[in-house]
Structure 1
Amino acid sequence: MPKAGIIYNDIKPVAGRVAIELKDQLTSAGWDVCVTASIGGILGYSNPGSPVCHTPIEGLTPPGFDSEMKFAVVLGGDGTVLAASRLVAPCGIPMLTVNTGHMGFLTETYLNQLPQAMEQAMADDYQIEERAMLTVKVLRGESVLWEALCLNEMVLHREPLTSMCHFEIAIGHHAAVDIAADGVIVSTPTGSTAYSLSAGGPVVTPGVPILQLVPICPHSLASRALVFPDSEPINIYPVNIPRLVMVVDGNGGCYVLPDDRVYLERSLYSAKFIRLQSPEFFRVLREKLGWGLPHIAKPNSVEIP
């Protein structure tokens, strides 16, 4: 009996309704179906009274989700996709992402196209695109206080965000550098179209094996985005007192104290996306962000005097 999963955003009634309908459809077709809400992949935030909240990366996988599962249908927006990737990446489960939100930059299809998408998925008529993820850890000495998988970016900043921070950052075997800024972003290629883009970082196509470090509002004309191989681990040491705040993928994080360090490296796990047609990243950039659209005033021809 083939096995499938459904992950839905439980705060959106339409996603919950479609999840029930889809489970009935798959069950009637002879599939074993596991259903879970995406909240299990939302990391949550620590608070001043509880600054440490350590959940192991592999501990987020929902019951019933395993490597035998052919695919998981994700119903929601980009935030749901980010949460779902943490739930299923350790098992290598491909995700068919269905947009019930707004931007839907990470989603593959829409609700009105779901019947055709399910036909293709059930018939194995698709490609799989792998996206690199980061393992993010907060360590005190050699003890892991907090860890998470990250598909988009890790952001480290002070409370409030507009306060200047100082960071010592060591990339791979290179000497540590000092950066003064409102915060820093470490982004994957997938995250290059998210917060990193807004902070002035470059857009990176998904298959390029790099990471990027982007200072947020740096207090220097020399501090700019840095692109480096994703084989290089990163250590970030906070200089500020009393603490900084780390946020992963915009939906969870923890406090980072002066004795802590943030360690990042490319994860052994990757996010696997079902593509119903050949991936076309530039098309998504054009449709979602308006990149490369023709200028209205562009002349049809050039007259040579």
Structure 2
Amino acid sequence: MPKAGIIYNDVKPVACRTAQEIKDQLIDSGWEVCLATGVGGILGYSSPHSPVCHAPIDRLNPPGFDYDMKFAIVLGGDGTVLSAFRQVAPYGIPLLTVNTGHMGFLTESYLNQLPQALEAVLAEEYQIEERSMLAVQLYREHDLLWEALCLNEVVIHREPLTSMCHFEVEIGRHAPVDIAADGIIVSTPTGSTAYSLSAGGPVITPGVPVLQLVPICPHSLASRALVFANSEPVTIFPANTTSLVMIVDGNGGSYVLPDDRVRIQRSPHTARFIRLRPPEFFHVLREKLGWGLPHIAKPTSVELP
């Protein structure tokens, strides 16, 4: 018996109702179905002196979600999609993402298109688009204190009411660099349209094998966004006396104390999106963010008096 999964946002009644409807439909078609909410992929926050409050990267999968699962359907917004990939990426489960939220930048389909989308998936009429993810780890001396799987970005920034931060950043084998700023962002191409875009970073198409580092409000005209190969691991050392805060995918994170270090590298796990048509990134940019839309009326030819 083939197996499918459904991950849904349980605070949205429409997602709860649709999840049950899809489950019943798949069971009637001879499928085994596992249901889970997006809560299992929520990272949570640690306290400054007790950061070990997380599950290892490969232990967030819901019951029944394993290598035998053919696909899973996600019902929610971008936050639910990010949470779902943290739960299933280690098992390579492809996700059909259905928007029940607002922006839905990461979603493939809408609720009113779900019957046709599900029909195409069951007929295996789709493509898989793989997006790179990051493994984020916080170390204190030699001890691993906190880790997470990341699809969009890692942000390390100052706490409220504290002064500017200083960072020492090592990228691969290259010489370390010093950055003075309110914080720094390390993002994937998928995350280039999220926080790093608002901080002045470039948009990067998903298939480019790079990462980018973007300082937040840097105190130097020379500190600008840097794009580098995603084969290069990044190690960040705080170079100030106050604690910092690390946020992963805008969801949860950990405090970073002065003697800690954060290591960020490309994960062996990828986010596998089910695409019902060939991926068209520029269309998504235009539809969701208004990129490339004409915003100045073209002059018409008129005769001057």
TM-score (norm 2): 0.96
Give, in angstroms, the shift of residue 162 of structure 1: 7.1
Contact kept? 2:133, 2:150, Cα under 8 Å: yes
2:195: which partner in 1? 195
Shift in alpha-carbon separation, 1:211–1:300, aligned structure 2, 3 A: farther
Deviation by residue 1:256-285 (Cα, 9 ceiling, x = unmatched) = 111110000000000000000010000000
Letter in 1 for 2:157: H
Q: Which moved more, 1:103-112 or 1:45-54?
A: 45-54
Letter in 1 for 2:132: A
User: What is the percentage of aligned positions where both structures have the same residue?
Assistant: 75
Write the distance in 1 (CA, Å) between the matches of 2:155 and 2:226.
15
Write the distance in 1 (CA, Å) between the matches of 2:243 and 2:188.
25
Letter in 2 for 1:47: S
1:34: which partner in 2? 34
Write the distance in 1 (CA, Å) between the matches of 2:232 and 2:50.
32
Letter in 2 for 1:204: I
Q: Does 2:4 match 1:4?
A: yes
Q: Does 2:204 match 1:218?
A: no
Give, in angstroms, the shift of residue 239 of structure 1: 1.4
SS at 1:45's partner residue?
A: coil
Q: Which moved more, 1:72-81 or 1:141-150?
A: 141-150
Shift in alpha-carbon separation, 1:63–1:261, aligned structure 2, 3 A: same
1:127: which partner in 2? 127
Write the distance in 2 (CA, Å) between the matches of 1:22 and 1:49.
44
**CA RMSD, Structure 1 to Structure 2 (Å):** 1.6
Contact kept? 1:162, 1:182, Cα under 8 Å: no
- Where structure 1 has 5 or more consecutive residues not aligned to the other structure, the ranges are none
Contact kept? 2:43, 2:54, Cα under 8 Å: no
- Where structure 2 has 5 or more consecutive residues not aligned to the other structure, the ranges are none
Shift in alpha-carbon separation, 1:162–1:243, aligned structure 2, 3 A: closer
Give, in angstroms, the shift of residue 242 of structure 1: 2.8
Contact kept? 1:52, 1:255, Cα under 8 Å: no
Give, in angstroms, the shift of residue 299 of structure 1: 4.4
Q: How many residues align?
A: 303
TM-score (norm 1): 0.96
Write the distance in 1 (CA, Å) between the matches of 2:213 and 2:104.
25
Letter in 2 for 1:17: R
Contact kept? 1:245, 1:254, Cα under 8 Å: yes
Contact kept? 1:161, 1:183, Cα under 8 Å: no
SS at 2:69's partner residue?
A: coil
1:241: which partner in 2? 241
Give, in angstroms, the shift of residue 160 of structure 1: 1.3
Q: Which moved more, 1:147-156 or 1:290-299?
A: 290-299
SS at 1:70's partner residue?
A: strand
Give, in angstroms, the shift of residue 81 of structure 1: 0.3
Contact kept? 1:182, 1:217, Cα under 8 Å: yes
SS at 1:263's partner residue?
A: strand
Give, in angstroms, the shift of residue 295 of structure 1: 3.3
Contact kept? 1:2, 1:69, Cα under 8 Å: yes
